[in-house]
Amino acid sequence: MLRRSCLWRLGNYRQHSDKERDRIAQERQRRILYDHAGNVKLSGLLFLFWEEFRLPILCVAGGIVFLIGYNKLIYYLSAKEFAHEKSIDQQSEANARLSGKLKGDRYLVKPRRQLDDPDFLNIPSYAGKGVYSSKLFDDDSASTDPLFSEKRRN
Q: What's the pLDDT tens digit per position in 17-57? A: 888 888 998 999 889 889 888 888 999 999 999 999 999 99
70-97 pLDDT, tens digit each: 999 999 999 999 999 989 888 887 887 7
Identify the pLDDT of residue 59.
Answer: 97
Buried b (16+ CB within 10 A) or exposed e, 78-98: eeeeeeeeeeeeeeeeeeeee
Q: How confident is the model at residue 63 (pLDDT cuts 50, 70, 90)?
A: very high
Position 16 pLDDT exceeds 90:
no
Identify the pLDDT of residue 90.
Answer: 85
